[in-house]
Amino acid sequence: MRPFQERYAAALADENVRTGLLAFQRGWRDTRDAQIAELEQRTGADFDALRGDLAARKDHVRAHWDHYLDAFTAAAEAAGATVTRVTTAEEANAYVTGLARARGSELVVKGKSMVSEEIGLNDHLEAAGVTPVETDLGEWILQLAHEHPSHLVMPAIHKRAEQVAALFERVLGREFPADDIPRMVQVARTELRERFLAAGVGLSGANALVAEGGSVMLVCNEGNNRMSVGLPPLHVVTAGADKLVATYADAMAQVRLLARSATGQPITVYTNFVTGPRPGGEMHIVLVDNGRSAMAADPDIAPALRCIRCGACANVCPPYQIVGGHAFGHVYTGAIGLVNTAWHHGLDAAADPQALCVSCGACAAVCPTDIPLPAQILEVRNRIMTQRPQRTDSRVRAVALRAFATPWLFAAGTRAVATVTEPLREDGVLAVPARLRRHPEVGRRVGWRSPPAPARRPARDRLRPRRQPAVPRLAETAVTGRRVLLFLQCITDRFAPTVAESTARLLRAAGAHVIVRRTQHCCGLPAFDSGQWETATTMVRHTLAAMEGADDVVTPAPSCVAMLAHEAPRLLRDDPDTAAGLQQLSGRIHDIVDYLTGPARLPAGSLDTGDRTPVTIHRFCQSTNTLGRTGEMEALVRDLAGAPVTALPEATVCCGFGGSTSITNPEVAEGILDRKLANVDRTGATTLLTDNPGCMLHLKGGAHASDRALTVQHIADYLADRLPAS
Amino acid sequence: MADDLIARLRSEVERASAALLEEDHWDGVADHLAQWARRGSVVVAPVVAERAPQLLEQVRDRGLAVVVPEGTDSEVMAAVADADIGVVAGELAVAESGSVLVAEHALGDRVVSMLSRRLVVVVPREAVAAALEDAAAWLAAHAGGTAWFASLMTGPSRTADIERSLTIGVQGPDEVDVVLCAAASNAARPLGAKGAQR
């Protein structure tokens, strides 16, 4: 496989990748959501219950792996199959190649098998003089083009019809009109049928290995898989033991979610159960470990073995839409590829694409086996930082975060930049002069998004007790009189101080006593996200110390709430006292939207100034995917301010600010921001509200750099602007 | 058979781009085959030939040749290579998904569903089940000790691999008709035994 930087550059250079994948992701989302909704309605169980059930079935097998492996082996062998367990990819390749040669087979037909891709089987077969022919249409196209799949389910999703037509013309020597897809499909049927009938060996993977009867379950839509395994006299299966299920009923539970999650179909056209060889034939099942036992032994990673290879994690992934699977992943693509690559192909192969992930959590929200993918990706990043400290990326991150984690250095740095850049300041962003933006490296980083401008006076200085604005109390609320610690958030403090001031004013309007402590700095999220968990842990402890004694903690940043409530417990595993302190506090840590929706609810209409300008709303991705938020912001705007809200298409998709992607891979963040702002344009609204300061600065910078007539505000600013004058 | 179960099956079969027909007697099935066959012959899976010799007679009565793929591997494949219509036996129809469960252990049985252009699956009318779990129970009841090959088939072969453009009829059949036939019955038999003897 080519080096990551080459794959990344090639993906960016191919416009077909992002346009094709955008259409695919949108289409998939609609059909998948409709299918899941229908299933929920019919079964009376929600998606979480359905996937929880499937996850429990897979976990049960993993907890008794040896038992089910033995049961499967016994049943398959009783039906006449030979089951062989191998540890490495090399052993698997040698076994399969040896079989083909021993039977004198020069032609092998292959159904789709990710394990065969994982172990590089085709190369080994070819080296041994055996010709493997991929029979899945997408895989066949890629084989003709000498490429690898870019998606687990739709291998050639990155190719346009014109490219396929040109490829067929070149390889088959006939003309193919680019708009005649049925003709291209038809020629594949004709070309491949001869191979099915002539091949001595059929190769397949397995969607499930059913221990109950020793069956290999294979699904496909084209019929190629069943022809590959059903016609040749020798059928060879390469599969991981992670595909084991206990019973046929378990297999059906998988079937029920697999196609819905993969292609938005209720079920694939064919669900085949192959048990033993056909009369007069042979069947060999090669169970490849290749890191799976190590995954199973690692409690933080083991749930990744539930994966049923549906590809849903890629289908919702915003960075995947920009660069596709050749860059986003290794052999395995999408979010699962950022995890399992470390075990199947090594930590170095897993390291490069990590920074593409924006940590939006969308993958976990749709995973049909409920794999905690975002947490696992962060686990892998942590291992890269600790086990590969010599990597340039690791060293740069270590230095940058050490500076960031030192409060006085961060303060001095942002003040210095604020002073130097003062002449460029424009509505909270820096207007980078055009001549500078023309420089390729500058343009790459700030040409598409004007960078946030550091404030000369941070929020902590503006919110000293005697400088707090007097705000009339609008009502007695459940928080009236409570000591509420305002956790500023590092970005808000230094780059968007008005948001902190607005949050303080809203809290005071609800009757809270607002406390701002100067000892606070950062919740640790940037360090955690970068895999620097030691630094992150120190910052979490520091943050918790700064919160001591407060009745409640409120922040304008739901990202900090997600960090403290959902991620910090992982960091405090070895520190039960601090973990207990966090647990006591975590139910009382709120972001301002959550607080205003709940205990600090202000009276309906109390912020209604008569302004009926429509607004549209971007919700921070983790507010949806991690915190489970739905329509709270919309309700606040409608109920308190009386303004109409125009629904934003793809409202829950990340804006591109997440993770370190906007710094390490600005092209990806730019592409995601373009998608977001294009959706905003479709609403016709001229005011865009969001709940997270990072998103606000990113979106504001994008609107500024593209000269859009768009006001981007944090919802706290929007609401506080409507408070009555004191 | 509850009519609502069949109504549900019909809806799902049609959603999968296939058709559902109901016939009381074999002659009705044979009429359809005569109407659909374009090349003067119908390929019939060996298991159908064994279970429903009446159907074969009725098809022949309508002037069509009946091909039952049997013999060596190459004879079997040659018999079906250009088949425009094939008939297989469905063990079970699943209303939940519009699928039919077809057991086809012998090569002669499986080539029919794999290689025919138009596939007719005849399912006993009483063998309509509600859910995929019923198919699982059927598989579990028939598994054990012998080799077998069974597939849930849901509509015609399809692909969307080129630009997500849905195209029906890739490697397998491009038309599928599910016929619920009151006269058909699935004589109890071990899944793989028949093929194993062949």
Report the 10 Å Cβ neighbour count for A247.
18
Note whether A224 contacts B: Cβ–Cβ < 8 A.
yes
> How close B37 gets to chain A, by Cα (Å)?
21
Print the domain residue range for B59.
3-187
- pLDDT given at position B96: 96
Burial class (CB in 10 A: 0-12, 13-18, 19+), B35: exposed
Note whether B111 contacts A: Cβ–Cβ < 8 A.
yes
3-state secondary structure A644-695: CEECCCCCCCCCCCCCCHHHHCHHHHHHHHHHHHHHHHHHCCCEEEECCHHH
- pLDDT given at position A388: 92
- pLDDT given at position B194: 37
- pLDDT given at position B160: 86
Backbone angles phi, psi at B43, to 5 degrees: -90, 130
Averaged pLDDT for residues A668-694: 97
Q: Which residue of A has its CA nearest to B105?
A: A278
Note whether A214 contacts B: Cβ–Cβ < 8 A.
yes
From the list B24, B19, B17, the residue with the least C-alpha distance to B1 is B24
**Is position B195 within any domain?**
no
- pLDDT given at position B193: 43
- pLDDT given at position B17: 96
Interface touch A226/B151, C-beta < 8 Å: yes
Backbone angles phi, psi at A315, to 5 degrees: -70, -15
Q: Mutate which of A221, A283, A321 to disrupt the B interface (most B C-beta within 10 Å)?
A: A221
Interface touch A221/B110, C-beta < 8 Å: no
Token output for A172: 């088959």
Point out the residue among B147, B158, B170 whose CB comes nearest to the CB of A79: B147
**Is position B99 within any domain?**
yes
Q: How far apart are CA B134 and CA A423, in angstroms?
A: 73
- pLDDT given at position A393: 87
> How close A265 gets to chain B, by Cα (Å)?
9
Chain B residue numbers with beta carbons less than 8 Å from the beta carbon of A184 are 162
Distances (CA, A) of A3 to A173, A326, A352, A357, A388: 33, 11, 9, 18, 17
**Is position A165 within any domain?**
yes
Domain boundary among A274, A293, A312: A293
Point out the residue among B15, B171, B196 whose CB comes nearest to the CB of A223: B171
Token output for A176: 């193919």
Note whether B160 contacts A: Cβ–Cβ < 8 A.
yes
Note whether A200 contacts B: Cβ–Cβ < 8 A.
no
Strands (E) across A183-279 are located at 201-204, 208-210, 215-220, 234-239, 244-245, 270-275
Strands (E) across chain B are located at 19-23, 41-44, 65-67, 85-89, 92-94, 99-103, 118-124, 128-129, 148-153, 158-159, 167-168, 175-181
Interface touch B136/A248, C-beta < 8 Å: yes
Lowest mean pLDDT among A247-261, A364-378, A693-707, B162-176: B162-176
Note whether A274 contacts B: Cβ–Cβ < 8 A.
yes
> How close B23 gets to chain A, by Cα (Å)?
24
CB A358 within 8 A of CB A345: no
Q: How far apart are CA B124 and CA A50, in angstroms?
A: 32
Is residue A465 very low, low, confident or very high in pLDDT (cuts 50, 70, 90)? low
**Is position B192 within any domain?**
no
> How close A345 gets to chain B, by Cα (Å)?
27
Helices and strands: H and E segment counts in chain A: 38, 20
- pLDDT given at position A469: 67
CB A224 within 8 A of CB B171: yes
Note whether B164 contacts A: Cβ–Cβ < 8 A.
yes
Q: Which positions ≥6 away from A199 have C-beta within 8 Å?
A: A105, A107, A108, A109, A133, A228, A231, A232
Interface touch A280/B73, C-beta < 8 Å: yes
Per-residue pLDDT of A104-123, as tens digits, reads 999 999 998 999 999 999 99
Note whether B72 contacts A: Cβ–Cβ < 8 A.
no
Q: Is the pLDDT of residue A468 over 90?
A: no
Backbone angles phi, psi at A238, to 5 degrees: -115, 125
Note whether B17 contacts A: Cβ–Cβ < 8 A.
no
Averaged pLDDT for residues B130-135: 96
Q: How far apart are CA A453 and CA B44, in angstroms?
A: 76
Averaged pLDDT for residues B69-93: 91
> How close B150 gets to chain A, by Cα (Å)?
5
Averaged pLDDT for residues A472-479: 94
Q: How far apart are CA A533 and CA A663, in angstroms?
A: 20
> How close A514 gets to chain B, by Cα (Å)?
55
SS3 A616: strand
Domain boundary among A231, A264, A293: A293
**Is position B14 within any domain?**
yes
Q: Is the pLDDT of residue B198 over 50?
A: no
Interface touch A213/B139, C-beta < 8 Å: yes
Domain boundary among A293, A312, A328: A293
**Is position B30 within any domain?**
yes
Q: How far apart are CA A633 and CA A638, in angstroms?
A: 9
Q: What does DSSP assign to residue A641?
A: I
Mean pLDDT, chain B, integer: 90
Q: CATH number for the domain including A110?
A: 3.40.50.10420
- pLDDT given at position A253: 98
Q: Mutate which of A204, A254, A258, A278 to disrupt the B interface (most B C-beta within 10 Å)?
A: A278
Report the 10 Å Cβ neighbour count for A579.
18
Q: Is the pLDDT of residue A578 over 80?
A: yes
Q: How far apart are CA A364 and CA A336, in angstroms?
A: 10
Residue B120 β-bridge partners: B87, B177
Per-residue pLDDT of A598-616, as tens digits, reads 999 999 999 999 999 999 9
> How close A133 gets to chain B, by Cα (Å)?
14
> How close B148 gets to chain A, by Cα (Å)?
5
**Is position A562 within any domain?**
yes
Mean pLDDT, chain A, integer: 95
Q: How far apart are CA A572 and CA A584, in angstroms?
A: 14
Point out the residue among B148, B152, B162 whose CB comes nearest to the CB of A184: B162
> How close B180 gets to chain A, by Cα (Å)?
19
Residue B151 β-bridge partners: A272, B102
CB < 8 Å from B in window 117-176 of A: 135-138, 141, 154-157, 159-161, 164
- pLDDT given at position A492: 97
Averaged pLDDT for residues B55-78: 94
Q: Which residue of A has its CA nearest to B17?
A: A269
Q: Considering its fold, how many domains does chain A have in total?
A: 2
Degrees, nearest 5: CA angle A355-A366-B136: 130
- pLDDT given at position A154: 86
Q: Which range is most confident: A432-441, A682-691, A717-726? A: A682-691
> How close A273 gets to chain B, by Cα (Å)?
5
Token output for B22: 């109901």
Chain B residue numbers with beta carbons less than 8 Å from the beta carbon of A27 are 164
Averaged pLDDT for residues B122-127: 95
Of all residues in chain A, the percent with pLDDT exceeding 90 is 88
Return the amino acid letter for A578. T
User: How many contacts (CB atoms, under 8 Å) link A and B?
Assistant: 199
SS3 A273: strand
Q: Considering its fold, how many domains does chain B have in total?
A: 1
Note whether B81 contacts A: Cβ–Cβ < 8 A.
yes
**Is position B198 within any domain?**
no
SS3 A590: strand
CB A371 within 8 A of CB A340: no
Per-residue pLDDT of B162-171, as tens digits, reads 888 888 888 8
Averaged pLDDT for residues A444-460: 94
> How close A186 gets to chain B, by Cα (Å)?
7
Chain A residue numbers with beta carbons less than 8 Å from the beta carbon of B15 are 266
Chain B residue numbers with beta carbons less than 8 Å from the beta carbon of A197 are 77, 81
**Is position A425 within any domain?**
no
Note whether A512 contacts B: Cβ–Cβ < 8 A.
no
Per-residue pLDDT of A314-361, as tens digits, reads 999 999 999 999 999 999 999 999 999 999 999 999 999 999 999 999
Q: How far apart are CA A19 and CA A34, in angstroms?
A: 23
- pLDDT given at position B196: 36
Q: CATH number for the domain including B66?
A: 3.40.50.10420
**Is position A403 within any domain?**
no
Interface touch B196/A213, C-beta < 8 Å: no
Query: Cα A492 to the chain's mean position, in Å?
Result: 25
CB < 8 Å from B in window 655-674 of A: none
Averaged pLDDT for residues B53-65: 96
Point out the residue among B132, B148, B198 whose CB comes nearest to the CB of A256: B132
Chain A residue numbers with beta carbons less than 8 Å from the beta carbon of B73 are 233, 280
Degrees, nearest 5: CA angle A401-A407-A412: 100
Of the CA atoms within 13 Å of residue A87, those in its CB half-sphere come to 1
From the list A158, A353, A113, A154, the residue with the least C-alpha distance to A263 is A154
Interior/surface letters A280-317, b for 16+ CB within 10 angstroms, e for the rest: ebbbbbbbbbbbbeebbeeebbbbbbbbbbbbbbbbbb
Is ipTM > 0.85 here?
yes
Note whether B83 contacts A: Cβ–Cβ < 8 A.
no
Q: Is the pLDDT of residue A88 over 70?
A: yes
Strands A615-618 and A589-591: unpaired
SS3 B86: strand
SS3 B60: helix
Token output for A482: 């409570």
Q: Which residue of A has its CA nearest to B131?
A: A252
Interface touch B16/A269, C-beta < 8 Å: yes
Is residue A148 very low, low, confident or very high in pLDDT (cuts 50, 70, 90)? confident
3-state secondary structure B103-149: ECCCHHHHHHHHHCCEEEEEEECCCEECCHHHHHHHHHHHCCCCCEE
A129 Rama sector, left if φ>0, alpha if ψ -120 to 50, beta otherwise? left
Q: How far apart are CA A493 and CA A499, in angstroms?
A: 9
Per-residue pLDDT of B153-194, as tens digits, reads 999 999 988 888 888 888 899 999 999 999 988 765 545 543
Of all residues in chain A, the percent with pLDDT exceeding 70 is 99
- pLDDT given at position B165: 83
Interface touch B154/A268, C-beta < 8 Å: yes
**Is position A373 within any domain?**
no
Per-residue pLDDT of A295-326, as tens digits, reads 999 999 999 999 999 999 999 999 999 999 99
Print the domain residue range for A56.
48-293
Chain A residue numbers with beta carbons less than 8 Å from the beta carbon of B118 are none
Per-residue pLDDT of A183-236, as tens digits, reads 999 888 888 988 998 999 999 999 999 999 999 999 999 999 999 999 999 999
Q: Mutate which of B8, B151, B174 to disrupt the A interface (most A C-beta within 10 Å)?
A: B151
- pLDDT given at position B192: 55
Q: Is the pLDDT of residue A282 over 80?
A: yes
Chain A residue numbers with beta carbons less than 8 Å from the beta carbon of B110 are 226, 230-231, 278
| Terminal-to-terminal C-alpha distance of chain A | 65
DSSP A551-582: SEEEES-HHHHHIIIIIHHHHTTT-HHHHHHH
Is residue B197 very low, low, confident or very high in pLDDT (cuts 50, 70, 90)? very low
Backbone angles phi, psi at B52, to 5 degrees: -130, 65
Degrees, nearest 5: CA angle A381-A385-A389: 155
Q: Mutate which of A136, A248, A255 to disrupt the B interface (most B C-beta within 10 Å)?
A: A248
Q: How far apart are CA B126 and CA B174, in angstroms?
A: 27
